[in-house]
Amino acid sequence: MKVARVIVDVPSRDTDRTFDYSIPPQLDGWVEIGSRVAVPFGGRALQGIVTAFAADAEVEAAKVKPIAELMDAMPPLSAELVQLGEWISKRWLCPLTIALQAMLPAALKGKAEKYVFPAIGAHWTEEETARSGGLLLALGRGEPLKLASLLQQYPDQGEQLKLWMRQGRLEERQRVENRMSVKTMQTVFAPDADKLRQAMAELPARARKQHEVLAYLADNPEPIAVERLAEALGTTSSTIRALADRGLIEVRAVTEDRDPYANRHFPPSVPMTLTPAQAEAIAPIIDALDSRDHRAFLLHGVTGSGKTELYLQSIDRCLSSGREAIVLVPEISLTPQMVERFKSRFGAKVAVLHSRLSNGERYDEWRKIREGRAQVAVGARSAIFAPFERIGLIVIDEEHETSYKQEESPKYHARDVAIERARLNGAVVVLGSATPSLETYAASKRGIEMGYISLPQRVADRPLPGVRLVDMREELKLGNRAMFSRALHEAIVSRLEKKEQMVLLLNRRGYATFVMCRSCGYTATCPHCEIALTYHRGAQTMRCHYCGYAEVEPKTCPSCESPHIRYFGTGTQKVEESLAETFPGIRVIRMDVDTTTEKGSHERWLTEFKERKADVLLGTQMVAKGLDFPYVTLVGVLAADAALRLPDFRASERTFQLLTQVAGRAGRHELPGEVIIQTYDPEHPSITSVQGHHYEGFVRQELKLRHVFGYPPYGRLIGVTLSHESVPMLLSAGQRLATRVRELATAERIGSDFAGGNGDALEILGPVASPIARLKDRYRFQCMVKYRGDVDASRLVAQALRELEEAVKKNGLIVSVDVDPQMML
């Protein structure tokens, strides 16, 4: 009996294998590898993906059930993507269904819905019918009805329904349905100001928060999302709901638009004539495309060297050979300007995929690709799964960006997936960056698996901006306690006079980074996470940036009641305030997660800045990436070493990359640029190398350190984080795991004297408390496996984890594995 092997959508270790289903005659010939099917599984209906066929079931024929339904006429995944999914699940140690789900748009994440209908021959008394308040009448019409909507419509009949189902008078059937939910947003609509004032007068005086809400709406009459309004006023949605209940405001679910680019016109662009340097750089890429071999290249080009034009011309070449192209861009750089560059060149052939799209929009773009109506996919990380069938080229712009690593399961890195997918397709990969990750750089310098292409000059020979380092310790000695050094102060003044613009970077949001009592040393920490709370000026709250916990600012010390409670450290809010005080009349746009939560706000700020409605763009790392404004002639970094002391071996690399990227924002057009970096550590290589735009110098030094400690690219890492409410439990589980990995390594004769890139093999560190030792009320311990690249450590870790899970069963221990972790926190 021919069977389909199905991966069912239950993300657990013991269901991480195929289950066999027979193919009903009417589906014969329709079910393919990659088909999405609904199947009965343990008494319920589930979604699954067909990954193989077999001539016979691996279990006795009586156990094999038929596929209930084929969910799409055209399989959403190809055999190639299924294969890629299998590779991902092995590489990052996750259940295959999780890898496969990551490839599907959210709209295709099927969910079982329960339907109820009367059993044949079931009767109800007149009294029961009357008591059911219309429910039995509705059921009596014959159509099975959705259980969830019945419960919503008749909230008090839940018990009754359950009883009838137990008695067999009602029957239940499950059906897997698409979650084609159009995205909606609860939005507040305010009446006109007069009505609002009248409403305020009618409100009881003690309803203070409700007054505030109405006052805010009187000033800001445009519709606003409930969540956002609540956040702006430091209250909760219940306040707003209360107002809606009184009928004073209206709250409606607003659906989001489906074609984000429907009303936009993209003026066509033609290929630019390449500079000699560009022409030389693109040649090997074109060669590789023409030969149809799998090849990968690092395109190492300084900021402003014209990498995007090379991408465009490479894509053009790829398309003209009848193949398709994927372009990955960091989420944050996926701005309308960026999209425009691709749409202008390739028009309707471009599909755009990013997280800001609603599920419906995303699904529509995805279908354009699947159905062959688009040949270029431009998108963030997950666009690497664009369902093309003839991929010729994959471009990853800003390849060093951390956002290419997904932090939830599957914890894949899009760069590695790209290379594997290109290998499967005989396609070319181009990794572009001004500051390549050390892994990529080292690989390209080895020259075996990856070629190196350099583009060391900016186009039109525009100079890289001059970089000045300012030692803030000297400033302090000279009595300057302000957050702006004298140099930066002067530079700001001169830009204001010349009506030029500035970008200021501070990689910390909020107002003050911690709150401490000067009398007793008490610091405010999150009660759930052991993380210092950050003070936010606007809402006068202290917030945890990890779990979102917030409390009102204390007037006196909660511990000793001293009034000497002070705010330390500087966040973007405080800089904004200080700019206004120091430079009266200065116009500042602040961009950080607090000001860009609303859909489209990110874009709006950038447009305003571009139109020169502000002098300063102040923000966290989101102002460092890919922005291109002709009037920006000054970039200021307020505290360059902020991220340097983090307990992460990549801290230096990140700092260097961030500083170089932000420095590249200055002087990109006619006007020359200047960069001022304030630091307490002006000798640090991450910082001094930025001054000379000296990537190679920085990398050489950093690689030496990595070599000594056996960190990537010389060794590889697997992080395992265990979390539980109890510390002793965690410690014993952690030790058990570490011991077991060690035993397995010894059994396989893998030496444990790995130190640096020349030792041999594998070592396991920990368990130790995680840098964030407690998160959301759970303690966290971690182990780190450090190993030489040719050792199959993930197999050992997987086995040790299986054994550990077997041993502790369900006692609440949560284990999370991260292969090639990018963040050590």
Only one residue has tokens 């957050």, namely 483
In this structure, which amino acid lies at residue 438? L
Helix boundaries (H) for 42-183: 79-91, 96-103, 126-131, 135-140, 147-153, 158-167
Nearer to DNA, 112 or 823 (CB): 112
Report how far residue 478's alpha carbon sits from residue 677's, in angstroms, rounded to the nearest whole number.
18
Report how far residue 366's alpha carbon sits from residue 343's, in angstroms, rounded to the nearest whole number.
16
Nearer to DNA, 765 or 814 (CB): 814
CB of 151 to DNA, least distance (A): 14
Q: Which residues here bind DNA, judged by CB under 7 A?
A: 10-12, 14-15, 19-21, 39-44, 57-59, 63-65, 809-810
3-class DSSP assignment, residue 13: helix
3-class DSSP assignment, residue 502: strand
In this structure, which amino acid lies at residue 125? T
Based on DSSP, count helices (H) and strands (E) in the chain, helices before strands: 25, 34
Q: Is 783 annotated as a binding residue?
A: no
157 close to 135: Cβ distance less than 8 angstroms = yes
CB of 6 to DNA, least distance (A): 8
Nearer to DNA, 277 or 815 (CB): 815
114 close to 174: Cβ distance less than 8 angstroms = yes
CB of 785 to DNA, least distance (A): 24
CB of 93 to DNA, least distance (A): 15
Nearer to DNA, 24 or 789 (CB): 24
CB of 97 to DNA, least distance (A): 10
717 close to 786: Cβ distance less than 8 angstroms = yes
Nearer to DNA, 176 or 352 (CB): 176
- Rg of the Cα trace of the chain? 30
Neighbour-count burial for 364-397, b at 16+ CB within 10 Å, e otherwise: bbbbbbbeeebbbbbbbbbbbbbbbeebbbbbbb
Nearer to DNA, 15 or 782 (CB): 15
Handedness of CA 745, 749, 750, 754 (dihedral sign): positive
Report how far residue 311's alpha carbon sits from residue 309's, in angstroms, rounded to the nearest whole number.
5
**Phi, psi dihedrals of residue 253, rounded to the nearest 5°:** -80, 125
Q: What is the DSSP letter of 39?
A: E
Nearest alpha carbon to residue 771 among 759, 761, 779: 779
CB of 45 to DNA, least distance (A): 9
Nearer to DNA, 102 or 524 (CB): 102
CA dihedral 572, 573, 575, 578 (to 10 degrees): 180
Enumerate the β-bridge partners of residue 762. Answer: 787
3-class DSSP assignment, residue 807: helix
Nearer to DNA, 64 or 254 (CB): 64
Long-range contacts, stretch 574-582, CB < 8 angstroms, 24+ apart: 574/483, 574/511, 574/512, 574/537, 575/483, 575/504, 575/506, 575/618, 575/638, 576/618, 577/511, 577/537, 578/482, 578/483, 578/484, 579/504, 579/616, 579/618, 582/482, 582/484, 582/489
DSSP per position, 406-446: -SSSS--BHHHHHHHHHHHHT-EEEEEESS--HHHHHHHHH
| Tokens representing residue 150 in the block | 């019945």
CB of 175 to DNA, least distance (A): 13
Number of other CB atoms surrounding residue 734 within 10 Å: 23
CB of 130 to DNA, least distance (A): 25
CB of 111 to DNA, least distance (A): 9
Enumerate the β-bridge partners of residue 7. Answer: 49
**Phi, psi dihedrals of residue 569, rounded to the nearest 5°:** 75, 160
Nearer to DNA, 65 or 473 (CB): 65
333 close to 311: Cβ distance less than 8 angstroms = no
Nearer to DNA, 44 or 802 (CB): 44
Q: Is 526 annotated as a binding residue?
A: yes
161 close to 213: Cβ distance less than 8 angstroms = no
CB of 727 to DNA, least distance (A): 21
CB of 58 to DNA, least distance (A): 6
Residues in the chain: 825
Nearer to DNA, 43 or 168 (CB): 43
Nearest alpha carbon to residue 537 among 561, 571, 587: 571
| Tokens representing residue 439 in the block | 């892994």
**Phi, psi dihedrals of residue 161, rounded to the nearest 5°:** -60, -45
CB of 809 to DNA, least distance (A): 5
3-class DSSP assignment, residue 140: helix
Nearest alpha carbon to residue 409 among 824, 819, 797: 819
Only one residue has tokens 């000001």, namely 595
Nearer to DNA, 80 or 113 (CB): 113
Nearer to DNA, 367 or 778 (CB): 778
Nearer to DNA, 129 or 174 (CB): 174
CB of 41 to DNA, least distance (A): 4
CB of 65 to DNA, least distance (A): 4
Q: Is 94 annotated as a binding residue?
A: no
CB of 166 to DNA, least distance (A): 9
Nearer to DNA, 101 or 313 (CB): 101
In the annotated binding site, the residues are 517, 520, 526, 529, 544, 547, 557, 560
Binding site per annotation, positions for Zn(2+): 517, 520, 526, 529, 544, 547, 557, 560
